[in-house]
Each structure stands twice: as C-alpha cells, then as structure tokens.
Amino acid sequence: MKYFIHTYGCQMNVHDSEKIAGILESLGYESCKNAAEADAVVFNTCCIRATAEQKIYGHIGELKKIKRQNPNMIVAVCGCMSQQDGVAEKIKDSYPFVDIVLGTSNLTMLKDAVINARSKKKSFNVDFVSYKEEDFVESRTSFPNAWVNINYGCNNFCTYCIVPYVRGRERSRSLADIISEINSLLKDGYKEITLLGQNVNSYGHDLQNGENFAQLLHEIGKLEGKFRLRFMTSHPKDLSEEVIEAVSAYPNICNNIHLPVQSGSTEILRRMNRRYTREDYLKLIEKIRAKLPDVGITTDIMVGFPGESEQDFSDTLDLVRQAKFSSAFCFVYSRRKGTPAYSMPNQIPSDVKRSRITQLLACQNEVTKEISREMLGKRFEILVEGANDHYKNTMCGRTESGRLVNFVGDENSIGEFVTVEIEKAKSATLWGRIVTEEK
C-alpha cells in the first residue's frame, strides 16, 4: 500500500507531514511520488492566504476522477484549512469522496481514522485536543536538517492573521523533552536542528518553572559535537537581549534570525497589533548587528494592509533599504474571514496591491544583490544539504547566515561541512567552488 502527502504552507506543516508520514508507515503504507498511484492521499493544508486555499480546493477536486478509478483510495484533508469554521462541513457537502477531515490538533486521531476509512467509515474531527510530541514517530525527510517543535500555537492575534484561530493558544514543550529529542537526532547523525514555533521567543511563558527561550538556547549551545542550530520564527517584540547574547556565545548557534517586520509604517504596525514601532524595529536590528556583525536577517513583509497609504508603503520601502535583509518573503495582504482586519475600512484595491508588491520585490532584490556582491571572493563554511535539481553534479547548502550556495560536488557529501569560495554572485543565487574539506 502506498501513500502520498500534498504539503502546503510553512515549515510547521512540512514537519507535521513528517508526523503524518510516520503514522501511515506504522500502518504499513510506503511513500510514492504521486496521488494517482496512492492508496492513501493526505492534503496537509494551509489557509494563511486565499490563494493557498483556492489552490488546495482545486487539487482536492482533481482527486474525484482518480478515486472513481480506485474507489478504495482513502482521501484525508488535515492541517490549518480544515480547522477553520465551516470548512469541514463544506468539504462534507462539496467533496463527498473525502473520507477524513482532521484539524491541526487532531493528528493523533489519523491512525484510527485511516483504519475506519478502510471499512468505509468516515471521520470528521476538528474539535481542539492537545497532543504530546511523544505521540508521534516522525518519518523525517529533510536530512541533514531535522525540525523540532518547541511551542505550538500563537497568542499574538496580529489583526490580519488566521493562525491563532487554527493553531490555538501557545503551548510549550518541556525543556527536558526538547533536549532529549535533539540529543537523539544528533546521535542519529543529523547536522542541523531547526527549532520551530510560531513565536519561538515566547517559549516557556506558559510553563510553571520559568524556563525560557534564552535558557533553551544555552542548553542546546552546550551540547557536544559539530552541528548547526537555527530557529524560527522570532517576533520583534519578544526578541530579548539574552537571546542575542546566547546566539553570540555558541558557535553551533547560527548567526541567522528570521524577524518578520510586516510593515515599515508605525501606524500600520499599530493597526496590525504588532506592538512595536518602525523605530523599535530598526533599533533592534542595530542591537543585533552590534553583537553579531555577520548576521543574516531575513523577514516577512506585507503590502496592501487595509488603509495602507502611499506614504505608509514608501516607509516600508525605506525600511527595506535601511534594514539590509539578506532576503524577504513578500506577500500581498489577503483578507481572512474571522480576523479583525477583515472588516477594517479602506481595503486596498488589487491593482494597487499588485503594483506595490512589484516595487517591493524590486527593492529587496537590489538589497540582496548588493549583499551578494559583498560575498564575492570570500570563503564560507557550508553544510551540504542536497543536490541542485536543475544542474548535474551540483550540490547546494547554506552559509551560517542562511544564504543558499551552489557548487560542484557529489551526493556522498550530503551532511558534511565544506568550505566554499564564492565565485558568482549575480542575484539571490550564489555560486562557488569547494576549496578545502573539513569532515
């Protein structure tokens, strides 16, 4: 029996798909390359923007024909989209060939749901239940990197964002559990650990014993052996001096911080409920660069939030030039039902949004090119992550600061650290050559 998982959205979902894969493998399924040859198809969905949702409904619809040819195929819809109000009912009504709908918190129920679906019993459950990490045995797919959840959910309620409604309130894992998971991953040969949380900086706020994110970083920093630690996402309002200190204190912790700014306008930030100003953000960046001179700071930015004026938008462009992000994920604001921004006045017309996103992308592209040019001729330690899909005998990996570099190499080196000299740095993509090898 074979399974296929369609994964949409962020790294949190990528990691949840590893948990889904683990459950299916425990039931005797093996992974395969496309839905048409699968006996079980899982959609692990995202609802952060309307475009994601439309695409997913389209893909679910496409399965109708395939299932007609293979009536025993099990179809499951999991993840953030199914957790939204009304979606489970909509799927039940409009996609009757779907056997299972589970919310983000109901993953532990997938095993029984699949067993029931084999005897044609449907399972729809999106009532919130809390699970423990120990309930899962992941089938990991991103060697040499391993994702590790540290906290789930979000309490911030940024006014545009659906995540707090579909992922629930913040829940932190205990520090001891996280360390023990990381220890076993390192023992298994993983070379990069990426801590995941909607807001990693608020890790521990809900724990009784005062454990916090800086403390967690210290504990991981002290672990022996050569590996890299990354973490995402940091909320600017919660990134403490102690965390910056910890990143600077341990060579294993990468000088790489994902710090979504969302907008360069203080007024828009206020209406987004971000709880920092443009000036706070720029000061924070200065503080980070003072302690971590070669840090790579990446960000998320949105254009077209309700009421965003030309001046607000030009403040965003100006911040992008000042902040010198090594890269930025740029989004067009998408109206999400159930969020406060949905009913804010002065929604921005789509042609204005399109024009702003084009300008924003061009602006960040210039910044990225400039940073790339500064890297020319310099040497960086790279963790070899995998083969470049488009070029033969070409591997890729990241610098400590998070920049992706391509170089000639072979697949045996995946998971090794190499030193690469940058030879071509035209745009976002860097090319280099291996100069020495460290094992």
Nearer to ligand 5AD, 191 or 274 (CB): 274
- The DSSP call for residue 264 is S
User: Interface residues for ligand SF4 in 192-251 (CB under 6 A)?
Assistant: 198-199, 235
Nearest to 386 by CA among 157, 163, 135, 192: 192
The item of ligand 5AD, ligand SF4, none sharing an interface with residue 49, based on CB under 5 to 8 Å by kind, is ligand 5AD
Give just the sign of the alpha carbon dihedral 87, 88, 94, 99: positive
Cβ burial, residue 242 (10 Å; 0-12/13-18/19+): middle
The item of ligand SF4, ligand 5AD, none sharing an interface with residue 398, based on CB under 5 to 8 Å by kind, is none
Nearest to 315 by CA among 264, 261, 260: 264
User: Least CB distance from residue 318 to ligand SF4, whole Å?
Assistant: 22
Number of residues interacting with ligand SF4: please give it, by CB under 6 A.
Answer: 10
Angle at the Cα of 132 from the Cα atoms of 110 and 190, rounded to 5 degrees: 95
The item of ligand 5AD, ligand SF4, none sharing an interface with residue 402, based on CB under 5 to 8 Å by kind, is none
Q: Is 328 in the site for ligand SF4 (CB under 6 A)?
A: no
Nearer to ligand SF4, 161 or 317 (CB): 161
Q: Is 156 in the site for ligand SF4 (CB under 6 A)?
A: yes
Nearer to ligand 5AD, 103 or 260 (CB): 260
Contact with ligand SF4 (CB under 6 A) among 68, 121, 157, 226: 157
User: Interface residues for ligand SF4 in 158-197 (CB under 6 A)?
Assistant: 158, 161, 163-164
The contact set with ligand 5AD (CB under 6 A) reads 48-49, 160-161, 260, 262, 300, 302, 331, 333-334, 336
Nearer to ligand 5AD, 125 or 262 (CB): 262
Q: Is 391 in the site for ligand SF4 (CB under 6 A)?
A: no
Query: Strands of 192-196's sheet, edge to edge?
Result: 145-149, 192-196, 228-232
Nearest to 113 by CA among 23, 8, 12, 22: 23
The amino acid at residue 69 is: Q
Nearer to ligand SF4, 146 or 301 (CB): 301
Quote the strand ranges of 85-159, DSSP E.
100-102, 123-125, 145-149, 151-152
User: Least CB distance from residue 262 to ligand SF4, whole Å?
Assistant: 7
User: Least CB distance from residue 244 to ligand 5AD, whole Å?
Assistant: 21
> Under a CB-based contact definition with an 8 Å cutoff, are residues 338 and 311 in contact?
no
Q: Distances from the Cα of 133 to the Cαs of 130, 152, 173, 378, in angstroms?
A: 10, 11, 8, 41
What is the β-pairing status of strands 394-398 and 74-79?
unpaired
Instruction: Give the footprint of ligand SF4 on this chain (CB under 6 A).
Output: 154, 156-158, 161, 163-164, 198-199, 235
